[in-house]
Amino acid sequence: MLIEIIAMAIVFIYSVASLFIFSYSIMQMNLVIVYLKNKLKDGKAYTGKQLKAGSEPLVTVQLPIYNEIYVAERLLDCITTLEYPVDKLEIQVLDDSDDETAELIATKVSEYRKKGFNINHVLRHNREGFKAGALAYGLKGAMGEFIAIFDSDFLPQKDFLKKTIPVFDDDKIGMVQTRWDHLNKNYSLLTRLQAFGLDAHFSIEQKGRNAGNHFINFNGTAGVWRRKCIETSNGWQADTLTEDLDLSYRAQLKGWKFIYLEEVNSPAELPVTMNALKNQQYRWNKGAAECVKKILGLVLKDKKISVSTKLHSIFHLMNSSVFIAILISAFLSIPMLLIKNEFLQFHFLFFLASFILLSFLMLSVFYFVATTQKEKKIHINVGRFLLIFPLFLSVSMGMALHNAVAVIEGYLGKKTSFIRTPKFNLSSAHQSWKHNKYLSSGINMITILEGVLTFYFASGILIAFYLHDFGLVPFHAMLTFGFGFVFYTSLSHSFLFASPNQKTPHAEGIVKRIITTS
C-alpha cells in the first residue's frame, strides 16, 4: 500500500512538471505565430526614421565597468566612433574597478577628452548596488535626455544612435532595445550553442512579445532609455540580480511603451568557458526568480493589462523556473520506467508522458524558425538545425541542476553578490583563455552532482534494455550527454587555466564548496 502511494506521488509530480514544460512550449509556439505574422506584414516599421540635422537630442552613453582589463580600452575606442554630433553626446564611464582597469580607463578618457569628446570617468567609493547602483549614480550627473547603455564587451555599430534615437518620436516610448550579435560565435562548440539559444530570444521572443503588445525586457545593454521613463518608474533598484528585467516591468506597468529593433544589431562577446557561462546563467536565472516575487503579483492585479499579456508575463518572468520542471521530470523519469513495469493499474496515466514529446516538437519549431531568420537557404538551415538543436537541447538540460539551484535561491530570498561574467577579448579559436585573471577555479558540489547525474541517466538506458521499454531512451541519452558535457567542461576548464582569482558563486547558500584547485 505504501509503495503504491509513493508510486502515485511520483506519477503526480512527474505529470505536473511535464505539464508546466508543455504549457511553456505552447506559449513559445504562440510567439512563433505572432512573430511570423508580423514579419509578413512589416518587420521594419521603425528603422527608416531619421533625425533632422541640428535637431538631435542630447544623449548620454553609460558604460558600467568593473575590472575589465581585456576589453575596457576596446570599448572606449568603439564608443567614440559613434556617428552623432559630438556636442550632443556625453559619455560616462561608470568605473567600479579595484584593479588596473581604472588606470587604463583614466588614460583613455584623458586621451579622448583632449580630442574634444565630452567623456567623464565616474568613480565610486564602493560597489553599493553593483551595476544598478552604478547606473543610478551616473544618472544623477547625466545631462542627456536619452540614456544609451553598453556593457564592457559590446561594440555597437557606428550608426547605432542614428537608428535608435529617431524611434523616440512618440513621447510614450520609454525604451528601445536592439538585437545582440556575437563577436566570437565560432570560437567553440560552447559559444555556438549559446549563440543558437540567444538568437532565438532576440528574434522570436523579443519580437513576438513586442508585436503582440506584451511586455518585453531591456536586456541590460545595447538599448536606449528615455531618461524620464527611468525616473518616473522609480529608477534603478538593486534588490534583484536582474535590475534590467525589474525596471522594464515597472516601467511598462506605468504605461511606458517599449520597442524592439530586430534589424539593429550590437555585437558582443559570448563566455568561452563553462564556469564563466555558469556565472552568467546563475545571475540571470536567480534574478528572474527574484523578479517573479517582486513583480508578478503587480502584473496579475493590474486590471488594465489584458489576459493574454498576463499569461505571457507569467511565462516570461517564470521562464527560469522551467529548469526546475526539467530537473524534476528528468530525475523522476527513471522511477517512472520502473513504476510502469510494476504497476499495470497506472498505465492509463502514462499518456501524460507524451507531453514531453509534444513539448520537444514545439520547441523544435520555435528554434527552427529562429534559425531561418539569418540564413534563408532552406537546405543549409535544415542541415545546421539537425546538427545543433539536439546538442543545444541536451546541454540546456545538462544545465538544469545548476540553474534550478539559482532559481530556488531566488525564490527563497537568498541574497548573493552581483558576479559579473569575465570577458576575454577572444575571437579566434587559436587564442587561449587560460591566463585570464578573472576566471574562477573552484569545483563545487553542483559540479560533482552533475557527474553523478551523468551516470544516473546512463543507468536509465541500461534499465530500458533490461525492461525492453525503449520509449525514454532518446530522452535519457540526451540527458546523459548534456550532464556529461557540463560536468566534463566544468572540470576541464577549472583545471586547465593558470590564474585562479575568485570563487564560483553559483552554489552559495545551498551547496558547499568542497574542492579548491590552484
| Active site residue ranges | 96, 244
d(CA 194, CA 45): 29
How far is the C-alpha of 270 from the C-alpha of 429, rounded, in Å? Answer: 13
Look at residues 451, 453, 473, 452 and name the one whose alpha carbon lies nearest to residue 462: 473
Interhelix angle 322-342/445-467, rounded to 10 degrees, is: 30
Gyration radius of the chain's alpha carbons? 24
The residue type found at 337 is L
Query: Whole-angstrom Cα distance, residue 309 to residue 257?
Result: 14
∠ CA 371-373-378, rounded to 5°: 70
Residues 133 and 243 sit within 8 Å (Cβ to Cβ) = no
Please state whether 517 falls in left (phi above 0), alpha (psi between -120 and 50) or beta: beta
Helix axes 378-398, 354-372, angle to 10 degrees: 130
Alpha-carbon distance 469 to 326, whole Å?
21
Asked whether 21 and 329 are in contact (CB, 8 A), the reply is yes
Written as nine digits, the cell of 145 is 535626455
